[in-house]
Structure 1
Amino acid sequence: MHWNVLSTEYISNHQYFTARRDRCQREDGVIVDPYFVVELPTSATALALTEDGKVVMVKQYRHPVAEVMLETPGGFIDPGEDFAEGMRRELLEETGYSFASFDYLGRVAANPGVLSNYTELYLATGGVRTDNQSLDHNEEIDVQVITMAELMQLVAAGEIKQSLHLNCILLAFMKMGMLAYTTR
């Protein structure tokens, strides 16, 4: 299935919030008007583990939901930037940690009914604190280093509320053999 875009009108054109109103035609001829799309750049996040197996998390206020959330570190990938390099950069900027290796876990779409972007998911290992944070002007990030057992308890208790980050954690758990799954 595919829709033809008959017209597009940009409502907002900002680095972090570009929104458009599309007029589309489905394959069966039905016109869908309006259809709103928020365009965002690709983002990346990682379950980040230190050399001694601790988990590097970030705590920050999220204004749209008016809540402080514990999350995996990550952010937007710069235009033309390799996803893994962007992830490496984001980890260093947000946490001050450098990581020895990155395993790609996959990509997810947060809300493909409205948002145009994907988030690339990684497992970063061998982390060592090598620098101070280098935050954007609007970021206030508190780095939290916790044990894997504490992370598992937080996940089980529903305390990791950022869905993309929870997906990353669960896929990393599967990769590390900490979460059993079957194919039926």
Structure 2
Amino acid sequence: MSRRLPIIHSVTEHEAGPYRMELLDLEFSNGERRRYERLHGRNRAAGPGAVIVVPMLDADTVLLVREYAAGVHRYELGLVKGRIDAGEDAIEAANRELKEEAGYGARSLTVLRSLTLAPSYMSHQAHLVLARDLYPERLPGDEPEELEVVPFKLDDLHQLILREDFSEGRSIAALFIAREWLRNGEPAPPEAGAGGESPP
């Protein structure tokens, strides 16, 4: 069933730590009025979201990185990820982050889709980028220590998702999406701007 989007009568903004919070005064199609909160990153204007990268060392080997995660105070395995800087698109940001965090660039990069964290109240989106045809190249990043790079077989994904140190939802979802995309072959070409290549 298709429904008309709620009418936004007003938006009130205020700062909330690292975020900018909006209070929305909404009216739904049935006449009900509600107030919803929505969070934006404070640096939202600097770039259109973030990237999460699935770097394929070969046809069945993905490169993970092990990084300190302050939220759970432990080292976590996950995928290369980071913010899209001003002036970058998702492809450029993915290749830069890959070089900074894993020490590789990619000759072939394809945006598969976007992922949200908590779409009920956060505007944040991360563009899922599949990176193939890798070559060694490192750029200086902003991490306090060099990240450990851990190769993992996609065929063993059922084991990886049960590990205590691999818990980030976006990384789990991204690996399943990428594995299915690779196994079922490339779909019809996406819309313009949704994918591309970045040579070394």
TM-score bracket, normalised by the shorter chain, equals 0.7 to 0.9
Q: Which whole-Å CA distance do the structure 1 matches of 2:128 and 2:8 have between them?
A: 30
Deviation at 1:140, TM superposition (A): 5.8
With structure 1 as the length reference, what TM-score do the two structures score? 0.80
When the two chains are superposed, the root-mean-square deviation of aligned CA atoms in Å is 2.4
Are 2:117 and 1:113 equivalent residues in the alignment? no
Structure 2: segments with no counterpart, 5+ residues: 185-200
Are 2:101 and 1:101 equivalent residues in the alignment? no
Are 2:14 and 1:7 equivalent residues in the alignment? no
| CA distance 1:135–1:31, change in 2 (3 Å) | same
Structure 1: segments with no counterpart, 5+ residues: 179-184
| CA distance 1:69–1:2, change in 2 (3 Å) | same
Question: Alignment partner for residue 128 of structure 1, among 117, 132, 135?
Answer: 135
Tell me what 2:194 maps to: none
| CA distance 1:26–1:65, change in 2 (3 Å) | farther
> Percent identity at matched positions?
22
Question: Alignment partner for residue 79 of structure 1, among 82, 86, 95?
Answer: 86
SS of residue matched to 1:153: helix
Tell me what 1:148 maps to: 154
Question: Residue 43 of structure 1 contacts residue 118 of structure 1 at CA under 8 Å; is this kept in 2?
Answer: yes
Are 2:26 and 1:19 equivalent residues in the alignment? no
Deviation at 1:12, TM superposition (A): 3.5
- The alignment of Structure 1 onto Structure 2 pairs a total of residues equal to 171
Deviation at 1:145, TM superposition (A): 2.5
Q: Which whole-Å CA distance do the structure 2 matches of 1:154 and 1:85 have between them?
A: 28
Deviation at 1:91, TM superposition (A): 0.6
| CA distance 1:114–1:67, change in 2 (3 Å) | farther
Q: Which whole-Å CA distance do the structure 2 matches of 1:80 and 1:12 have between them?
A: 26
Alignment deviations for residues 13-46 of structure 1 (CA, whole Å, 9 cap, x no partner)? 7xxx2231414122325141xx433213411112
